[in-house]
Structure 1
């Protein structure tokens, strides 16, 4: 085991561990993508990157389909909709040159694996500033084995994957007093998303409360609050009304009565209802504790003893606790990565010797701790449990090749069947021209997202660059997957029952022709006659489905 106390190894072992971790995560993500288990968000980000590469910065029809104008006002998705109204993510431009060289959703999966691997390396060097090699290595391995780290990184590409990378870099720059780099990384963190100001505020709160760099800490807190208020109340509303009409209502609707609210109005509503605020803060207690245990487990619960952890992780934890239904309190969701840096840095500072009793003292005035043999065994046990839990929670169905998606009723697609099905889908999609507009079912969306106009089924109409309504040229749907999963998942059953009559109506009306169908995979093209063989396969599929 990596946590056994061996003779100190050189840096090559550290790099080898990081490289092995990268290969494993990249391999799992690529397998997930190529077997058509990557889903809608992977498509959104790929379309954003694709549009960025073609000069249409941050535009996406897939994001437009989720906008308040479409969901609430009934408007059509637009090709020129800028996602910055939903999430302000200029940091994605950092990776624009890489995507220009390798324009594919695969690039995003590899980038996400690289974010995680490099973040672990930075964490090792951060720990090494305070601790001896073996303990630093143990903390790095705990990061690579943490359920709250692995689950979000094994999902679709997302912007918050950058947070541990930038945060550990920021803390490393702080430790070595490289304030110019520190300042640049503050800006990089803020550029990740509008709410990344919240974990950055936690860094400022720690620097201020610990009296290590109180002036810098006060400045970071002021910058974080100012940026968050400015972006959510001035910049984002320029692009759309999503922040006030959708996200604030969906996440904090319990505090307000209106159908629209700014972030400042939500904050005021919270402060003016202390009873409701307290109730949301402490309930559900079991869910909150379970979430915290997920973060503490790979570090043998040490973060719970660290005031540094509570100061740094407190702001993002508070935000997730106060959201409606505490939807963010899930270690499989990307928001967990906002909490992770505080957990691991807090553990480093605790091992350095600064707990609650000695908090506020200079680190030079406290004595570093060293784990006893029994504790090292306990730590190994905790890390093993964390690693075991990851595949059994099956984050984003990444391990569906090895474990059932459902046990009761049993739903399992063996690995050979996954790849056979992937080959069938690939042959179907190869018939769609790269520049054609498309509507697709969820798990096909990422593979077709590198184009100007793509929607998710059942929508088929959008506004083109001229602002004119237009129907998509092709429709690609995997009904076989929905039929297989509908016995266990209500959402798949609802989609299946919605898509079948829609497809039948489009074929019968002559608006679209069925040009290919195989085992529940269907491809329709606008204005074309149906292929007789495809129609026969379609009717056979429907007849078999009706008897199941």
Structure 2
């Protein structure tokens, strides 16, 4: 039977067993769109409740909301939280976030960004689960769909504010499936928009091009490789410096691994700047190996049998070469773009390897077991805690203080309070340099200890004392939240 005939056979709706589109009870769409809908709801609950509990921050939700708010009013994406007149396209080249502008114009709220991100993450489930169903039946579709949805990389990202890579995750999922099914032109079309998501995604586009050149149409692959590599170089060396007030790429020192990098006030060790130092730095410390094991574990390590999994290499290499330790491990949002690749490799290996049914079922069971075992260690578990559904007295006190700030004014705020104000005021970080005249209002939460952004609780308290020395009037103070007015 030809490959084309097999694909047509798998697509028929009434066939039983592993080739069928239905198992007799559950419609085919439920294995992909149904699971995706479930996780879209879970991600939304997780991220919106986190925002309601004032755990989101100006860095990064507030920054992206300021950019989208500017796009929604047909303005340049100036982000006061990054600095006066700072164009966010000079920080990371992510024009794709402008796609949220029409939605934000109708629903001007940080919740709009969080819901959109949840839907985009969940959308990555659709091509991979459907591919698994057509390749190995409903059981594989459920394991892959639930595995992608509960994957620690995507869950971590859904729990950590908003980021532009929300657009990359479904694009990569569709591109990986197209590669696995040898639909080369479709893979190219799905991957090219990654150049508009973030400057590092051109490396993934280039890797996809190499894959196509080796296993598919050589000319198409070479064009795609050139587009990805040159796109990243143009963005990093030309566009970002042109739009950045410092005339350079702010993260160059962090991603090259030379010397050291400072993040959140902590200096991270890198290589010595030489090629040998860089090569020695890439595999150590051991947390990097843990990250690799955590990526492959949910696929029962079968993903290593697929060449698709090698598409993870560019992202892992720049992260591991970096001097910033935040890039090395499993925290934050950095691994979200890798999850559709490893699960795509899983589906690809399931379909192409001559595995006995018992072995295949064992691998699916192993994948499901790892996915379930990891859930208690990552943020989805929080939805089961009663504390997730209650509002603390401190948050209620902070909300009461924030309600005294009128709409449309300028505010200097501590990091977490900033995310609560962006949709209705012009917000800067309280510890950042201020323009003249100063902000009309100042609000600081002394319990805000988020240190990733450059405004720790100590820095915010010092800035608050400075405003008081300038004659700002005390308006309210509750449970460590202080409000001043010029």
Common fold by TM > 0.5: yes
Between the aligned partners of 2:452 and 2:309, the Cα distance in structure 1 is 38
Deviation at 1:416, TM superposition (A): 7.5
Q: Using a 3 Å threshold, how does the CA distance of structure 1 residues 89 and 457 change in structure 2: closer, same or farther?
A: same
Q: Using a 3 Å threshold, how does the CA distance of structure 1 residues 279 and 174 change in structure 2: closer, same or farther?
A: closer
Q: Using a 3 Å threshold, how does the CA distance of structure 1 residues 415 and 353 change in structure 2: closer, same or farther?
A: closer
Greater alpha carbon shift after TM alignment, 118-127 vs 435-444: 118-127
1:474 aligns with 2:441: yes
Would the aligned equivalents of 1:251 and 1:323 in 2 still touch at CA under 8 Å?
Answer: yes
1:185 aligns with 2:172: no
Task: Give 2:297's aligned residue.
Answer: 297
Between the aligned partners of 2:279 and 2:223, the Cα distance in structure 1 is 29
Between the aligned partners of 1:58 and 1:253, the Cα distance in structure 2 is 30
Between the aligned partners of 2:295 and 2:247, the Cα distance in structure 1 is 29
Matches within 5 A, 1:259-338: 273-284=274-285, 286-310=286-310, 312-338=311-337
Matches within 5 A, 1:91-490: 91-173=96-178, 182-209=187-214, 211-240=215-244, 244=248, 246-252=250-256, 254=258, 273-284=274-285, 286-310=286-310, 312-354=311-353, 367=354, 370=357, 371-391=359-379, 399=382, 402=385, 414=387, 418-450=391-423, 453-459=426-432, 461-462=434-435, 469-479=436-446, 481-482=447-448
Between the aligned partners of 1:243 and 1:298, the Cα distance in structure 2 is 42
What's the secondary structure of 1:121's corresponding residue? helix
Unpaired runs of 5+ residues, structure 1, are 65-77, 258-268, 355-366, 404-413, 463-468, 527-548
| 1:249-290 per-position Cα deviation (integer Å, ceiling 9, x unaligned) | 233251699xxxxxxxxxxx97xx331132022222x21220
Unpaired runs of 5+ residues, structure 2, are 1-17, 262-271
Between the aligned partners of 2:227 and 2:397, the Cα distance in structure 1 is 52
| 1:466-504 per-position Cα deviation (integer Å, ceiling 9, x unaligned) | xxx33111011112x24xx7xxx8889x94444445434
Residue in structure 1 matching 2:482, options 491, 499, 522: 522
Deviation at 1:457, TM superposition (A): 2.0
| 1:522-547 per-position Cα deviation (integer Å, ceiling 9, x unaligned) | 11000xxxxxxxxxxxxxxxxxxxxx
Would the aligned equivalents of 1:313 and 1:341 in 2 still touch at CA under 8 Å?
Answer: no
Residue in structure 1 matching 2:47, options 26, 29, 41: 29
Deviation at 1:92, TM superposition (A): 0.9
Would the aligned equivalents of 1:460 and 1:472 in 2 still touch at CA under 8 Å?
Answer: no
Task: Give 2:72's aligned residue.
Answer: 53
Task: Give 1:530's aligned residue.
Answer: none
Between the aligned partners of 2:474 and 2:63, the Cα distance in structure 1 is 27
Between the aligned partners of 1:345 and 1:238, the Cα distance in structure 2 is 37
The size of the alignment, in residue pairs, is 452
Greater alpha carbon shift after TM alignment, 18-27 vs 338-347: 338-347
1:506 aligns with 2:473: no
TM-score by length of 1: 0.75
Between the aligned partners of 1:384 and 1:525, the Cα distance in structure 2 is 51
Between the aligned partners of 1:491 and 1:167, the Cα distance in structure 2 is 28
Between the aligned partners of 1:517 and 1:131, the Cα distance in structure 2 is 61
Greater alpha carbon shift after TM alignment, 178-187 vs 245-254: 178-187
Deviation at 1:292, TM superposition (A): 1.0
Deviation at 1:351, TM superposition (A): 0.9
TM-score by length of 2: 0.84
Between the aligned partners of 2:131 and 2:323, the Cα distance in structure 1 is 35
Would the aligned equivalents of 1:461 and 1:472 in 2 still touch at CA under 8 Å?
Answer: yes
What's the secondary structure of 2:258's corresponding residue? helix
CA RMSD of aligned residues (A): 3.1
Q: Using a 3 Å threshold, how does the CA distance of structure 1 residues 279 and 345 change in structure 2: closer, same or farther?
A: same
Would the aligned equivalents of 1:51 and 1:452 in 2 still touch at CA under 8 Å?
Answer: no
Between the aligned partners of 1:135 and 1:315, the Cα distance in structure 2 is 28
